[in-house]
Amino acid sequence: MIISGGEDSRIIVTSLLTGDVLIKVDHHRGPVNSIRIDSTGEFLVTGSSDCTVCLWCLDGFSLLRSTVLPSPVTMIDISADSVFLLAACEDQKLYLRCLATGTEIHTLRGHQGDVKSICLARDCRRAIAGGIKGKISVFDMHSGRLTRTLPANPSADVTAVKVTEKDDFLITASGDRVAYWSFRSEEANTKRQKSSSAESLHPHTAPISCLDISRDRAMAVTGGVDSLVNLWQLNTHELLYTFEGHIASVTCIAFSPSGLFVASGSEDKTIRVWGLNLSILVTTFKHQAPVTAVTVMYDGRRVVSSDRAGGIRVWAADTGTLIQSVCGPGRCFTVSSDMRYAICGTGDNQLRIIGLGIGPEEKYQVSHSQEITCLVVTPDSRSLITGSRDMSLKVWQLAGGKLSQVLVGHTDHVTCVAVAVLDKSIVVSGSRDANLIIWDINTGSDLHTLKGHLGYITCVKLSGDGSLAASGSEDKSLIIWDTKKGCSLSSIMLHVPVLGLEVATDLSRLALHLLEHKCMPILCLHNTPAQYVKLPDYVAPWSDIRDLRLPGPKRPHKRLLKKEVSLDSDTWHRKYGHLTSGMLTIIRWEDRDYERKI
């Protein structure tokens, strides 16, 4: 069959044997500019001027996913492994997305001018763009960087680019010329760059102590007992950079919401901010005791950190300037999404909600009858959920610290709790009783009890839409659950107990933290039914930054008037008489006129 798209916004499927029209699809609201079929022949991708890219199943022509781009789409291409989607738009930008989920991976920058042709190499790593005035750019899709530009014919536009089957040659068409470029040299150059940079890459030689993944779920960062901070590519499981500078084990680590830097805290009483674009140390902030926790606020400009001495500091990420100092209890566990509150505790049965920012410092106290073991703040920054050794969970109002709900159902200590981004009513908790319970936060009722683990639950995460949950256990297993039906979908057995995990919002990628292990397994879930949810962006107004600065030393008020001096009449006439002599003369003449009238 032949599939075509036209200016009438339709997609028409025609039989190659009979010439009959099999189906007409009228979905796009603009001209269909580009069509691609994946290597398996099962899926069709269409790009249109209505700023959308649609993924279709060829069996029945059902729409699987529609991805919205910032500008009208001019052309698209798919990688050989059907993982990457590259789209060129009228805004002269190249957008790299995940084909299955539509997740944004990179915006390829560096090509100047309009894009006339694009192509993806067979190695599923390189992207080629041809443009006006003979410009040809080669990008690394995994890092999103421009790796090479080719000196083509500047008098004509590059109207077509194509890579041969084994990536031996790159063929470009420009004007009346067709040029062949050796593409192996590009791969060799990449390998040489890798070998030269491999000397500065050091995998962990001691157990990993902390990990985090970026908001776009493209990278992961780990800190280890060996004082190293490593940056990893989640798609390729490749070690990108090793940051060295700490002189003791790394205790905590956090990505900035923008993904531009990473903050790492250590036993050496310092927090270091690492820039990811240039792979350099941006700033260092010093504490008076070993650092226990670090969090980057949603504005990407402030960092909250705490140490063992009980000090909590808010400081600027780019300069290390102290903005606010709070004498809190021990450790800052988390910061609310609206950046107004920090939740702190010492590991006992009490937590304090501390206000950050404008006005006097607010402090609210929440407590359980026994030690608090886990907590989470809802994405809307309205509620705080705590779990305890007293086998219960409590829901608190973040503004005011009032108790709004108690969740009772576990038969042993509560060990972990998670909430979803979209479905704010669902809460999942794990316990030492080896069970997970799905709660309705509004009514306090338990919807499902998930049974399948043989040991106590150590961690749990929810997908962004709340449809899936992933849990790790002391029994060395990881299970994926359907929260709507209350059943398990998949499981995997590991050789080491799972301490924690970080997941993408659609659970397509999972990074695992294992007990006393120097490796970080990265799991890929294909055909996940969960919907990808873009985490909300929050940018604080400048007034928040300005008002959070520490007040400077008080200065004496300037006197508006000079010091008053008592003067007699002779001294006054000598010093100031010349200033008022004219006025006195006028007054005398007015007095004489007044006497004559009388």
Q: How much is the mean pLDDT over the chain? A: 83
Confidence tier at 575 by pLDDT (50, 70, 90):
low
How far apart (Å, rounded) are the C-alpha atoms in residues 463 and 530?
A: 7
Assess if residue 141 is contained within a domain: yes
pLDDT at res. 475: 93
How far apart (Å, rounded) are the C-alpha atoms in residues 292 and 190?
A: 39
28 and 87 part of one domain: yes
Assess if residue 26 is contained within a domain: yes
Q: Which of 183, 206, 232 is the last residue of a domain?
A: 183
- The partner residues of 254 in beta bridges, in order of sequence, read 263
Assess if residue 251 is contained within a domain: no
pLDDT at res. 560: 40
pLDDT at res. 550: 45
CA 81 to chain centre: 26
Residue 56 belongs to what domain range? 1-108
Assess if residue 20 is contained within a domain: yes
430 and 513 part of one domain: yes
- Whether residue 555 has pLDDT greater than 70: no
- Whether residue 561 has pLDDT greater than 60: no
- Whether residue 585 has pLDDT greater than 70: no
Q: Which of 489, 507, 539 is the last residue of a domain?
A: 539
How far apart (Å, rounded) are the C-alpha atoms in residues 267 and 248?
A: 5
10 and 52 part of one domain: yes
- As a whole number, mean pLDDT of residues 551-576 equals 50
Assess if residue 55 is contained within a domain: yes
1 and 123 part of one domain: no
What one-character-per-residue DSSP string does 357-383 give? Answer: SSSSPPEEEEE-SS-EEEEEE-TTSSE
pLDDT at res. 540: 47
Q: Which of 539, 567, 593 is the last residue of a domain?
A: 539
- The partner residues of 343 in beta bridges, in order of sequence, read 353
439: domain CATH number is: 2.130.10.10
Residue predicted with more confidence, 82 or 476 = 476
Token pair 């008080």 is at which residue? 554
Assess if residue 146 is contained within a domain: yes
pLDDT at res. 533: 80
The structural domain count of the chain equals 3
Contacts of 459 (CB under 8 A, 6+ apart): 416, 430, 471, 472, 498, 499, 500, 501
Confidence tier at 563 by pLDDT (50, 70, 90):
very low
58 and 159 part of one domain: no
CA 525 to chain centre: 20
pLDDT at res. 578: 58
65 and 161 part of one domain: no
Residue 473 in 3-state DSSP?
Answer: strand
Flag whether the pTM goes above 0.85. Answer: no
- Whether residue 499 has pLDDT greater than 70: yes
Nearest by Cα to 520 from 202, 105, 209, 248:
209
Q: Identify the weakest region by mean pLDDT among 59-63, 83-87, 494-498.
A: 59-63
451 and 494 part of one domain: yes
Say if CB 393 and CB 407 are below 8 A apart: yes
Residue predicted with more confidence, 197 or 404 = 404
Confidence tier at 222 by pLDDT (50, 70, 90):
very high
pLDDT at res. 103: 84
- As a whole number, mean pLDDT of residues 541-563 equals 44
- As a whole number, mean pLDDT of residues 256-268 equals 91
How far apart (Å, rounded) are the C-alpha atoms in residues 598 and 593?
A: 9
417 and 470 part of one domain: yes
Residue 412 in 3-state DSSP?
Answer: coil
Instruction: Give one word for 57, left, alpha or beta, with left for phi > 0 and alpha for psi -120 to 50.
Output: beta
Confidence tier at 199 by pLDDT (50, 70, 90):
low
10 and 73 part of one domain: yes
pLDDT at res. 332: 62
Query: Quick one: what percent of the chain has pLDDT higher than 70?
Result: 85
pLDDT at res. 220: 92
Assess if residue 37 is contained within a domain: yes
Assess if residue 362 is contained within a domain: no
415 and 443 part of one domain: yes
Residue 401 in 3-state DSSP?
Answer: coil
Sheet harboring 73-78: ordered strands across? 73-78, 84-89, 94-98, 104-108
138 and 92 part of one domain: no
505 and 468 part of one domain: yes
